Amino acid sequence: MAKRTGPSNYQLGLLLDQLRPIAIKSKFWKRVAEEVNKPTRQRREVNVYKIDQFAQNGETVLVPGKVLSVGELTKKVDVAAMNFSAGAKDKILNAQGKVLSIAELLHKNPEGKKVRILG
């Protein structure tokens, strides 16, 4: 079996470098770092209708993977993820929500309070 060398994506490597010191103190960010460090094929893909189904209005949702555009979003939700499809971004912004990267959420909320992981 081949030895795993870590992510080849430069931006993902930077994100993991930012998460490591915080993950020591916070169980939430430790879990996020573990999920983000998975191989691409094992990362989560969440459709917009799942966000609408499980998130509360005004809540922040973190997807350690990609957000896809199937379904409708009727709630104002801030969504942080590694990647977004173009349609998913449009639907989140049209519902008055915000689209964030995981690094932006890390700087905005270093404690990880009141954030729901979906996927």
In-domain check, residue 5: no
pLDDT in tens, 53-99: 999 999 999 999 999 999 999 999 999 999 999 999 999 999 999 99
Domain that holds residue 79: 10-117
| Helix (H) or strand (E) segment spanning residue 102 | helix 102-108
pLDDT in tens, 38-50: 888 888 899 999 9
Count the domains in the chain. 1
pLDDT in tens, 5-34: 666 788 888 888 999 999 999 999 999 999
Determine the pLDDT at residue 12: 86
Determine the pLDDT at residue 77: 95
Determine the pLDDT at residue 6: 66
Neighbours of 15 (CB within 10 A): 21
Q: Which amino acid is at 88?
A: A
Determine the pLDDT at residue 40: 84
In-domain check, residue 3: no
In-domain check, residue 4: no
Q: What is the CATH number of the domain that holds 21?
A: 3.100.10.10
Q: How far apart are the first and last CA of the chain?
A: 29
> Is the pTM higher than 0.85?
yes
21/81 Cα distance (integer angstroms):
20
